[in-house]
Structure 1
Amino acid sequence: MSPSILFQSLWNDYIERLCPNADKVHDLLEEDESLINDHIALRTFSLAPLGIETLAKPFLDLGYKECGDYIFESKHLTAKHYEHPDTTQPKVFISQLEVGLCSTQLQSIVEKLVAQVDSKELGSSDFLHNGRMWDISHEEYLLLSEESEYAAWLAAHGYGANHFTVSVNQLSAFSSVKAVNDHLRVAGFDINESGGEVKGSAEVLLEQSSTMADKVPVSFSGGSQVIPGGFYEFALRYPMSNGELYQGFVAASADKIFESTDT
């Protein structure tokens, strides 16, 4: 399998199940050439057999390398990002909830979910875009959401790209993240305002923004409910002192991007 095939599978799942409006945003921003996807983000739990390493393996097998570590103390999250030697391939940002740092109630619910995972399903990259690997009730989802939106989102949706990211550097019609936001607002999209509509700055070499998550139906044991799904992000990267564009992430900005899926 090539990176392109894997990312196409992730994109198909993303627009069908998690963020249907991404297709509309894509059409609003695409110019003469296909949009460049700066990165995708995936979420997981820290418990075996899951965890960052499990999600990273399919990408490592395709030639990706680990390039950065991040900590989000207030959300009990850690993360790593990965890059491919072919710089035209998207970066991959994988985060995990440190379950052991959470309440005993959250730990109990998540442990019950993870216990349902069949390790054999983790043998190929298909699990990355196959959704949920466990059953969960809406009541359990609500209990998780009281403590951790991240835990509730992951418990409800399972695996899939939390977001794709348009590279604003590529766009000729828009020279700033703010201009992209304004264009999308006119088209009726809500922008994540947490921490300001533009996260980051030229000083930290990265500016980011995102839509608020689509509301999508999810099947719980006992019935279907509409909850926040995926969102679309926009990133503008600035050159470092050597003239090359910065390729990392800024934890303070990513912390607020996570809140695009808040209810």
Structure 2
Amino acid sequence: MNTEDLRNLLDAMWQDYLKINPDARLIHQLFAERNPTLINDHIALRTFDLPKVSIRTIAAPFVDAGYKPRGEYYFPAKKLFAEHFEHPDSTLPKIFISELHVDQLSDSAAEIIHQCVSQIPEDAPAQTGFSYSGRHWALSHDTYLQLLDESEYAAWLCAFGYRPNHFTLLVNALQSHHSIDKVNDFLLQQGFALNSAGGLVKGSPEEFLEQSSTLAKPILVPFSDRNAEIPGCYYEFAQRYPLANGQLYQGFVAASADRIFESTDVKRSN
């Protein structure tokens, strides 16, 4: 995939994301009115640790376009593993892909997930646009609630399918707001709800990364038995700090990301 095709893919992912997070368009516009340039720090994708849709499978189009794995992260409490990928062109966003350890769930939850993944056409995961292709399976609201009792992550992924979970605005590139605290204050003044799990700001300058995020707003989702409102996507904000060599830290902090995941929690979004 050449750079133009890659940028087209990233833009298509952004447009898909905006469909289930209309607040992101408003927030992006507010900052665009106040800054000559906005930089997307990273895009997050969710999947399962099944061969058909593993991190390596989801990452393949990005790797083909020049991305390389740069970090691994573990989230035992949420039964997740993640990797992030970077492109040689630093103006392109990092790709953060997490996967749920299906075999660590109950037999009934694992069976639901296997049934969902089995309905994905065999050649679909290899397609360039799979990362924003949505849900490939039928899912009842009752089944969604069953998954929700065990794993918010599994429930969200089975409800929405394959699409960006969040995009991330790089605070360092802003001229209008020079710290993540000022960004948070601005968003609160504008009426946006933020994820307060572990505090509004996750991380610290000592960890070289501070993050915050909006809460995912409930949106109407069609299930096989009814339509229901559930939390969609959220917008994240990241401020990075320089390492000893003067370069900005480009990785992630697992403890902070663990709390950022909770931006789609039903109990926080309602």
TM > 0.5 fold call: yes
Superposition pairs of residues 178-193 of structure 1, within 5 angstroms? 178-193=181-196
User: Is contact 1:213–1:228 with CA below 8 Å preserved after alignment?
Assistant: yes
SS in 1 for 2:51: coil
Tell me whether 1:195 sits opposite 2:201 in the alignment: no
How far is the alpha carbon of 1:3 from its aligned partner? Answer: 2.3
Q: In 2, are the aligned partners of 1:208 and 1:234 still within 8 Å (CA)? A: yes
Matched, 1:166 2:173: no
Task: Determine if contact 1:211/1:233 at 8 Å carries over to the other structure.
Answer: yes
Q: Tell me if structure 2 keeps the 8 A contact 1:3–1:89.
A: no
Supply the distance in 1 between the matched residues of 2:199 and 2:72 (Cα, whole angstroms): 24
The question of whether the paired residues in 2 share the 8 Å contact of 1:66 and 1:80 is answered with yes
Structure 1 SS opposite 2:123 = helix
Map Cα deviations across residues 80-112 of structure 1 (whole Å, 9 max, x no partner): 000000111100000000001111121111111
Alignment gaps of 5+ in structure 2: none
Query: 1:50-61, aligned counterparts within 5 Å?
Result: 50-61=53-64
Amino acid of the structure 1 residue aligned with 2:233: G
2:97 to 78, 94, 98: 94
Fraction of identical pairs, as percent: 51
Q: Between Structure 1 and Structure 2, how many residues are aligned?
A: 262
What residue in structure 2 maps to residue 205 of structure 1? 208
Between stretches 78-87 and 116-125, larger displacement belongs to 116-125
Q: Which of 128, 144, 155 is the aligned partner of 1:141?
A: 144
Partner residue of 2:23?
Answer: 21
Aligned 1:1-263 pairs, distance under 5 A: 1=1, 2-16=5-19, 18-30=20-32, 31-263=34-266
Unaligned runs of 5+ in 1: none
Displacement after TM superposition at 1:46 (Å): 1.0
Query: Per-residue deviation at 1:35?
Result: 1.1
Matched-pair contact (CA < 8 Å) for 1:166–1:234 = yes
Contact 1:81 1:92 in 2 (8 A): yes
SS of 2:52's partner is: coil
The answer to whether the Cα contact below 8 Å between 2:74 and 2:254 also exists between their aligned partners in 1 is yes
Q: How far is 1:32 from its partner?
A: 3.8
CA-based RMSD of the aligned residues comes to: 0.9
- Any idea what SS the aligned residue of 1:147 has? coil
Query: Partner letter of residue 196 of structure 2?
Result: E
Q: Which amino acid aligns with 2:100?
A: L
Distance in 1 between the 2:49 and 2:135 partners?
Answer: 16
